[in-house]
Structure formats: C-alpha cells, structure tokens
C-alpha cells in the first residue's frame, strides 16, 4: 500500500507519458517522491543509490527492453 512517503521510479522515454504519469501520481498524493529515468542505464544508476516502493517500467527503451532492468534488479537484490 502506498503512503505519503512512497518512492516511485518511472522508467519511460516518452516525455508525454512521463508527464501524464507524474500528474496522475501528484493528484493521488502530492507527497509522493517521484523520480524519472529515460534509459535503462540511468535507472540502474539511480537504483544503485536509492530504493523505491514502486517502479513503473516501459517495455521498450532507447538502450534495451524493460524486462532486462527487472532481471538486473532481481540479481542485484539476491546478492544483498
């Protein structure tokens, strides 16, 4: 369940889509901490330094497919 301290990462390369998602999340709760990444690599960089409650992940990104990020994240979590 989301609360006012929830951290949300949006991984999406289409600006219009990220704008819509951010606006929607801000309407639900303006206190959500929303970060945006436009590539898999930048998402990895962010995830190396910060944890999130929810990741909204696009399928097709400029540097690969979203499922690869999920596989990377699963391996990363299993190593910790």
Domain boundaries, the chain: 7-79
CATH of domain 7-79: 3.40.50.2300
pLDDT tens, per residue, the chain with 80 residues: 678 789 999 999 999 999 999 999 999 999 999 999 999 999 999 999 999 999 999 999 999 999 999 999 999 888 75
Residue 17, pLDDT score:
98
Task: Give the C-alpha separation, 69 to 74, whole Å.
Answer: 9
Task: Give the C-alpha separation, 38 to 62, whole Å.
Answer: 8
Residues in the chain: 80
Within 10 A of 6 (CB to CB), how many other CB atoms are there? 17
Q: Cβ(39)–Cβ(62) under 8 Å?
A: yes
Please give the structure tokens belonging to residue 47.
């995830």
Q: What are the helix and strand counts (H, E) for the chain?
A: 3, 5
């Amino acid at each position: 369940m989301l609360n006012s301290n929830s951290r949300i990462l949006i991984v999406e390369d289409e600006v219009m889509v990220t704008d819509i998602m951010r606006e929607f999340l801000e309407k639900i709760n303006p206190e959500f901490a929303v970060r945006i990444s436009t590539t898999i690599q930048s998402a990895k960089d962010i995830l190396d330094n910060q944890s999130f409650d929810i990741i909204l992940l696009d399928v097709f990104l400029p540097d690969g497919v979203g499922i690869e990020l999920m596989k990377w994240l699963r391996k990363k979590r299993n190593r910790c």
